[in-house]
Amino acid sequence: LQRHFALSSTLLKSVKWREGGITCNGHPVTVSARCRAGDRLTVDVSDPPCHNPNLHPVDFPLSILWEDEDLLILNKPAGITVHCAALTREPVTVAGAVAHYLHSDQYHGVNRLDRGTTGAMVVAKTGYIHARCMALLHSGDFYREYRGICLGTPTPAAGSIDLPIGREPDSLLRRRVDPAGLAAHTDYEPLWQGPDRALLRLTPGTGRTHQLRLHLSAIGHPLLGDTVYGHKKPELGQSSQCLHAKELRFVHPRTGEPVTVSCGLPDYFTALLEKLRAGA
């Protein structure tokens, strides 16, 4: 079970006491059972009931890009958080909308997007699949590509940013570049450049909180609309920060098959680009 199905020791402890949790050829067995060639071994890796007081299901329409029995890939809109913010109760969260859609009392997000970030994000339907996804997240088997509009034009035009990230003291939200923080790597490449704005392809090599926003701000080119690490004033009428998760490519944690999902830019992002190009 651990070698072929990649069950964690914690999940295995749960499964072996579950009624019908492990069967061989349709008959319940214990973990000491010996299997032979041709036997059919099954294991119930569904989530056990768990009351989460911080998860509030809400009937909110989801834009689903891709789905199978293990995973749900969403196009997250701007303006909503994945979880309830610290010390506040959000009327709508991604977790709450997913819990309502799946009729579940648990939420297993794989890649998390900020309130103002849009685009493709992966949700696992069980803790088992979530654990296997997280093992892929910071490897070459899980590729994420973003689009961002930044202030100014980076020099060099294409390159990498390697700056460690840590928490900002006395803040629940902000992060900062910190020599004692966690290593963080971002690749960037311009797709369009105006006199004082640029559309970038952003590829994170790590998944630190606020990584792309903080890295671009640290080199002097914050994302437009980023009121935490950039300028407070919205530009040309945009309604959110200009950061969009454009594409995901990963190896399916159960089947081993490649999965590629692309997500179009939101309307406000496209409209801003048109205005910038027209004024270039």
**Tens-place pLDDT, residues 164-210:** 999 999 888 899 999 999 999 999 999 999 999 999 999 999 989 99
pLDDT at position 264: 96
Assign 67 to helix, strand or coil: strand
Contact 137, 110 (CB under 8 A): yes
In this predicted structure, what is the pLDDT of residue 136?
Answer: 86
Q: Number of H helices and number of E strands within the chain?
A: 5, 15
Q: Are 24 and 36 in contact (CB under 8 A)?
A: no
Whether omega before 156 lies within 30 degrees of 0, making that bond cis, reads yes
Q: Distance between CA 117 and CA 240 in Å, rounded?
A: 8
Per residue in 112-137, is it b (16+ CB within 10 Å) or e — as a string? Answer: ebbbbbbbbbbbbbbbbbbbbbbeee
CB-side neighbour CA atoms (13 Å) of 226: 27
Most confident segment among 70-74, 140-144, 235-239, 267-271: 70-74
pLDDT at 141 over 90: no
132 φ, ψ (degrees, to nearest 5) = -70, -35
Q: pLDDT tens-digit profile of 70-102? A: 999 999 999 999 987 655 678 899 999 999 999
Label residue 233 by pLDDT band (50, 70, 90).
low
Q: Which residues contact 268 (CB under 8 A, 6 or more apart)?
A: 78, 238, 239, 240
The pLDDT value given to residue 201? 98
Residue 62 in tokens: 């989801």
pLDDT in the model for residue 172: 83
The predicted structure's pLDDT at residue 239: 59
Task: Specify burial of residue 201 (Cβ count, 10 A radius: 0-12, 13-18, 19+).
Answer: middle
Q: What is residue 207's three-state secondary structure?
A: coil
Amino acid of residue 257? E
Residue 22 pairs with which residues in a beta bridge? Answer: 43
Contact (CB, 8 A) for 181 and 165: yes
Tally of residues, the chain: 280
Identify the pLDDT of residue 237.
55
Predicted pLDDT at 5: 87
The separation between the first and the last C-alpha atoms of the chain, rounded to the nearest angstrom, is: 60
Phi, psi of 215 (to 5 degrees): -60, -45
The percentage of residues in the chain with a pLDDT greater than 90, rounded to a whole number, is: 69
Single pTM value for the model: 0.89
Find all residues with CB under 8 Å of 274, minimum gap 6, and list them: none
Share of the chain above pLDDT 70, in %: 95
pLDDT, tens digit, for every residue of 10-51?
Answer: 889 889 889 899 999 999 999 999 999 999 999 999 988 887
Query: At 48, which amino acid appears?
Result: P
List residues with catalytic annotation.
114
Burial-class residue 47 by CB neighbours within 10 Å (0-12, 13-18, 19+): middle
